[in-house]
Chain A
Amino acid sequence: MSGAADLVIETTGLTKRLGGRSVLNGIDLAVPRGSVFGFLGPNGSGKTTTIRILLGLASATSGDVRVLGESIPRALQQVLPRVGALVEGPGFYPFLSGTANLLRLDAADRYVSPSTRRQRVDTALERVGLSQAAGKKVGRYSLGMKQRLGIANALLTHRDLIVLDEPTNGLDPQGTREVRHLVRSLTEEGTTVFVSSHLLTEVEQICSHAAVLSAGSLVAQGSLEELRRAGEPRLRVVTPDLPQTHTVLRRLGTTPDDDGASPGAHIITAPLPDGVTPDRIVRELVEAGVRVNGFSVDQAGLEDLFVALTGEGFDVVQ
């Protein structure tokens, strides 16, 4: 269904080695036009390295990269004017005001009209809620304000693709929500948004598609629906009769997890066994004399999938 023309970002076998160590091992990214694409992975998994290569800041050791249909880095100068980006935190001159910083970056772009420069800068600042602080020196901005200014820079002119690397870093809950609104309004304008994050909830809330990176390899990719489907469904029984329930579930071919105990009732969860419908499970339980106070079948959350794919804990995967 999605031909190459519909892909805004397409990499094939993208590999990056740094000092003999492999940072990216053959990434095949496919970002459809018009999507909000979440690029997930724990710290150190290679998200920023991938983004740097997409934007021509770093070179790939091997592999093919296409952004907006053009080959990177060959067509970089033609592609970049159509791409707005916030990469690895904002970068601004502390001795210039927010407005002056944006004017400077806009002046470096040879493809935009200088006559609308001032107006575009003001609009971008207003969009991220920085109009009030526009004249203040960036050195006196808070982390969150710098982050907003970084996003404003990505919005200086109409873009076909916006890349936001950890956009909510340093933002308060209010700012995080504003970023979500912003991303939504960008999509309505027809811009594809590529968001990298180590925060799953963030991606789950705003993205239509996602890819999961772990230790330099892409372990999952697709629409959010597809990814959710990839996780196995789980059943959940609330009952005071613990041993009988276990017996029945084992007979049906599934292994119950440890219980979440609660007074007077047990909550038992287990993977939904293959080829057994939920109604049959309930019937079997009731026929075995189990008092079923509650029963549900849940799709695995993306979080379970994320943890399953990337491992749990704080260790940076090497």
Chain B
Amino acid sequence: MSATLTRDDLLRAYRTMRTIREFEERLHVEFATGEIPGFVHLYAGEEASATGVCLHLRPDDRIASTHRGHGHCIAKGMEVAPMMAEIYGKKTGICGGKGGSMHVADLDVGMMGANGIVGGGGPLICGAALAAKMKGTDGVGVCFFGDGASNQGMILEAMNLATVWRLPALFVAENNGYAEATSSKYSVACDNIADRAGGFGMPGVIVDGHDFFAVHEAAGEAIARARAGGGPTLLEVKLNRYYGHFEGDQQTYRATDEVKRIRETRDCLMLFTRRVSSAGLLDLAELEAIDRDVAAQIDAAVVAAKAAPKPTAADLLTDVYVEYA
């Protein structure tokens, strides 16, 4: 399992997953106070997916994300303080308060944006992969999307195009079982999203999204193949979200205790901790130190975001065009 993972990798993976969890849990609390504008979609429970994939990526690799994008942002290397400020709609936000939770992005680290349009990232990541191919780098593009987007034409077209152009791309279907309140058992016409890969001439792989190590291994193979010119892969990560489609969703459509049961038995952080400590790779004290550090970091981010100024009237009209006569 960890043949390719160094001790530093493991520490990094844990810190990333913990940062995402802490970020989302804190947002869950803070959103309820009414201080955060708009709405947020939390990634808690799905951390192993973003982390397992992005641990393979370099800054010049690109990812496209979804409306549930905070985890992808953090895993791709974005700073939490400007992200938090963005979600609060502040001028100090990574996007100056003009994007918000659903459009948080940082092109400097290869994060091409959360996306308010379900499936919107598929074509974009084909473009990122095409750019890498044209420039002759061995960079890759990774598109994260959900089970809802797996039925969206843009994603299906993008997967076909990626194979036709033999693009260095990876399509990561994060199947958390629900598109808003509609179960994927109802809305996806085949048993697995990965079953569709054959129709697009690419390998389809299914992994358990609660298991960081499984995601990491499968993503590693797919990304190495893409870098080597072997074309795209569809990776279906089966996982669960802990919170509703958006904050305020009471999840009455889910079975009683469904989330509680998953949290207690299959939580990705719990499985990771159990695995690394039983194998003697990391000790619990180290992980607890990371927990304390991350908690302090998120707390500082929230305090700073709350204190930060809002954008002003002068900001309304800027950043539409590079230049406009």
The answer to whether A binds B is no
A residues within 8 Å of B by Cβ? none
B residues within 8 Å of A by Cβ? none
